[in-house]
Amino acid sequence: RAKEALTQTVCFYEVSMDEAARRRRLIANDLWQAVRRDELELHYQVQKAVHTGETLGYEVLLRWHHPVRGTIPPSDFIPIAEECGAILPIGEWVLREACREAASWENAHKIAVNLSPVQLGNADVADLVQRVLQETGLDPRRLELEITESTIIGDKERALETLRRIKAFGVTIAIDDFGTGYSSLETLRSFPFDKIKLDRSFMSEVESSPEAKAIIRAILALGHTLRVPVLAEGVETRNQLDILLDEGCDEAQGYFLGRPMPMERIRAARKASEAA
Ligand code: C2E
Ligand code: MG
Ligand code: MG
Ligand code: MG
């Protein structure tokens, strides 16, 4: 009896594990086709100077419109794409699209592109960046690559070497989701970065938690001592923006300033406000 029950439990467990694995396999399979089938779309989210409200640039955020499953958020498919390797063709597509888009603007706004640790671990990524810049004619100083600390925790020497090559083109590097990793201070000491993006968990707590505010203040001091601007992610209210202004934060991004959306919609909104 006990043995039978155990067998059943084990089987049930294996079936559900199997289901999850099967779903991942199906998604991975579809991911390889996504670029070719034109299912990927870029959304753009504005980044502004806190003090002046001036638009500085846009972060590119990937959307996948799956023909059957509907729109799948990046948090669901990026990890699978990283695991199965599809992140390489997808990441290349994102970079090329983003640079082409930015090169077509009449202004000199920056374009910030997220770079996966898997891309950074790939020896060819610096060549890719160089090639895409040449193809699109984008001024390298207008391209920013966002990397997370986890990127750096992997093969550190190799990542460093690649980042140095990329920076030599004039491209800048931002540390994304700063404050959530394991080795923030070590990262700051050894990495050639140009901006700190403060993780949005601090913003969501800044009004209620003196500790969150103290940490923001400390990271701002750190950034400014190192002469690196700090951008606060996840600004959702006027009040949060006012706090950032008080604290001397340099840049901000979040729903209060603008939701991620396709560039056509940003253009239409800009035209409408110019006409008004
Ligand atoms: P991230 O780079 O930290 O991007 C910021 C995320 O916060 C985005 O989620 C954005 O939509 C969301 N966000 C922006 N403002 C607010 C706000 O005020 N409140 C809240 N609650 N959320 C806000 P999204 O678009 O779902 O992307 C999630 C993550 O997926 C990104 O985090 C990034 O790590 C990854 N990702 C997105 N696009 C790409 C890509 O093209 N390549 C790679 N490798 N990763 C990407
Ligand atoms: Mg980012
Ligand atoms: Mg972030
Ligand atoms: Mg994030």
Q: Say if residue 10's pLDDT is above 80.
A: no
Pocket of ligand 1 (CB under 6 A): 45, 61-62, 73-75, 78, 91, 94, 114, 116, 146, 176-177, 200, 234-236, 254-255, 260
Per-residue pLDDT tens for 187-246? 777 888 999 999 999 999 999 999 999 999 999 999 999 999 999 999 999 999 999 999
User: Which pLDDT belongs to residue 219?
Assistant: 93
Per-residue pLDDT tens for 107-148? 999 999 999 999 998 879 999 999 999 999 999 999 999 998
Per-residue pLDDT tens for 32-84? 999 999 999 999 999 999 999 999 999 999 999 999 999 999 999 999 999 99
As for the ipTM of the complex, it is: 0.98
Nearest-CA residue for atom 15 of ligand 1: 254
Locate the ligand 1 atom nearest the alpha carbon of residue 62 and give its number.
Answer: 38
Q: Say if residue 29's pLDDT is above 90.
A: yes
Nearest-CA residue for atom 11 of ligand 1: 260
Q: What is the DSSP string of the chain?
A: -HHHHHHHHHHHHHHHHHHHHHHHHHHHHHHHHHTTTT-EEEEEEEEEETTT--EEEEEEEEEEEETTTEEE-HHHHHHHHHHHSTHHHHHHHHHHHHHHHHHT-SS--EEEEE--HHHHTSTTHHHHHHHHHHHH---GGGEEEEEEHHHHHSSHHHHHHHHHHHHHTT-EEEEEEETSSS-HHHHHHH---SEEEE-HHHHHHTTT-HHHHHHHHHHHHHHHHTT--EEE----SHHHHHHHHHHT--EE-STTT---B-HHHHHHHHHHHHH-
